Structure 1
Amino acid sequence: MPGTGRGGDPGRAAAPGGGDVRQDGRGLARAAVRLDAAAVEERLETAVTRYGVVTAWQEVMVPTLHAVGRRWASTGDRYVVVEHLLAWHVSTTLRRHTRRPATTPTAAGAGPVLLACVPGEQHTLPLEALNAALSHLGVPTRMFGAAVPADALLTAVRRLGPAAVVLWAQARSTANLPLAEHVAASEWGVKGARTQPLTMLGGPGWAGRPSRGMLRPTTLSEALGTLAAGYGAVPPAAPLSRGRGPA
């Protein structure tokens, strides 16, 4: 969601505890370029501890991943290992800050949120960030990760009866609209009281595609707020979330 930093300079993101997300991002990028795994890990841990998962993802992790990716694109394969190292440690940090799944049903009695990349899609980090954020709100999830085959995904939807399904597509080539529509049309329950999942399309691959009733959040904050509402959970305030990263 749009927003600005605190203080008199709206372009500068001042954070609680004296942090500065832009400075933290620059420090993270420098550590990644040096291939300094220990420093990368330390800076990521500090960002999540200081700002929380949502702001750390949108304001530190995503901009740094984009910056490293642009450097890779402009220099050939020279920086590909930098991006791989950074992505690995981002994933490690997000998983470390994902709480253990609840073993009891939610008060709302709703099914879990199912998180999956569409077939052929390997980019899981945005879903890992959403999974971590949902876990802190006590929202039950089922994380299936990269490149879930269509038949397996549809079977899981029928078995679990999810309250929502989030499908991630990084590229237009993987954004499978017929599959998403099939998921959205899934029904279960007794006749006369059938239930369908809320279907959410995440990632730039869906841009320009007709959503036909499916949701298209543009930030992690937006996706989190929509999903949490179905469980009566209240997402943390994120004044630094300016919408620079994907949901």
Structure 2
Amino acid sequence: MEEHREDITSGGLTTGEVARRLGVAPTTVRSWDRRYRLGPDTRTDGRHRRWTPADVARLERMCALTATGMAPAEAARLALSGEPVDVPKTAPSRGRRKAGSGLSLGDARQECKGIARAALRLDAAALDDLLAAAIDRHGLVTAWTEVIVPTLQAVGRKWERSGERYVEVEHFLSWHVSCALRRGLPPAAVDRPGATTLLACVPGENHTLPLEVLAAALAERGLPVRMFGGAVPVESLVAAVRRTGPAAVALWAQSRTTASPPLAQHVAAMGWGVRGARRHAVVLTLGPGWAGRAVAGLSRPRGLAEAVAALESVVRTDS
């Protein structure tokens, strides 16, 4: 209520209210201000943003243009210039989508197409711009699940159907996604004994991107995480668990040939600490490789959001 009264007296909306009106995250509004100068024309004495109807109209145009798959930098230029431009009538209106409710099907398709086209052109600048905008607009978990993963899958199908002619496109896209996940993250959280999450691919597994996005999502929440990447040898994984005493260990397997229930059981059975008060890590088995290979007593989250929630619960409780 206090914020609402301030808006009335100052003659403008707060960033949070603008974000709710547009159906985007407040960080997206601030990012567009910082990157593209789409901020309000005036600010309060305390430098707080106060958005007028004209300011909001520019952001609404920005949303409509980016929803068509247009690169954010170009959309911002047009939004600021006021130049006439035909926006397809099928483009979804972000003002009709509640914040945090995910993407409409049309919205996801348009953003996937824009990212895929930039990847096919090997256009690094446009690809970075589009990936950053998707993460800013929807948040890391939703952008990964509903925009980035479908695009990666579509690019993968394209090179499979074309005799692997486009394998460079898949590698190019994966690298830029990996870079986008790290960009803008807060500094690594300070480790606390028994509160760290250890992330590793099982031996023989080199698909690290899903673990990278999980690491980024945990870092966003201020949770300490140690990322060990692909194909961690058994001896190295066991040594890392012993040295860090983590609250949780997440083991990724893309293929059933690499998923190892005995390894997961061994890590779960490891203990440390004084006799009579031994501690054990909660072990999560992640990835399609564990399908049909359930390990008794161990959790197998079905997606990124479920994995983040499970790990956050473990670490917060253990702390």
TM range (shorter): 0.7 to 0.9
- Structure 1 Cα separation of the partners of residues 190 and 251 of structure 2: 24
CA deviation digits over 1:15-41, x for unaligned, max 9? 9xxx93331111111111122111111
| SS of residue in 1 equivalent to 2:206 | coil
- Structure 2 Cα separation of the partners of residues 25 and 46 of structure 1: 12
Q: For residues 174 and 111 of structure 1, do their structure 2 counterparts lie closer, same or farther at Cα, with a shift above 3 Å needed?
A: same
Does 2:204 match 1:120? yes
1:39-58 map, 5 Å:
39-58=126-145
Does 2:176 match 1:86? no
Match of 2:271 in 1: 187
Match of 2:110 in 1: 23
Match of 2:14 in 1: none
| SS of residue in 2 equivalent to 1:114 | strand
Which structure has the larger Rg over C-alpha atoms?
2
Residue among 229, 232, 253 paired with 1:145 = 229
Match of 1:65 in 2: 152
Alpha-carbon distance, 1:161 to partner: 0.5
| SS of residue in 2 equivalent to 1:199 | strand
| SS of residue in 1 equivalent to 2:292 | coil
Match of 2:186 in 1: 99
Match of 2:103 in 1: 13
Match of 2:252 in 1: 168
Q: Which has the higher contact order (CA 8 A, sep 6+)?
A: 1
What is the aligned length?
220
Alpha-carbon distance, 1:14 to partner: 3.8
Does 2:285 match 1:201? yes
- Structure 2 Cα separation of the partners of residues 148 and 39 of structure 1: 34
Aligned-pair identity (%): 55
Give runs of ≥4 in structure 1 deviating > 3 Å.
5-8
Unaligned regions of 5+ residues in structure 1, if any?
234-247
For 1:103, the aligned partner's letter is V
**Contact 1:112 1:139 (8 Å CA) reproduced:** yes
- Structure 2 Cα separation of the partners of residues 90 and 55 of structure 1: 14
- Structure 2 Cα separation of the partners of residues 162 and 104 of structure 1: 10
Unaligned regions of 5+ residues in structure 2, if any?
1-93
TM-score by length of 1: 0.83
- Structure 1 Cα separation of the partners of residues 223 and 260 of structure 2: 27
**Greater fraction helix:** 2
TM-score by length of 2: 0.65
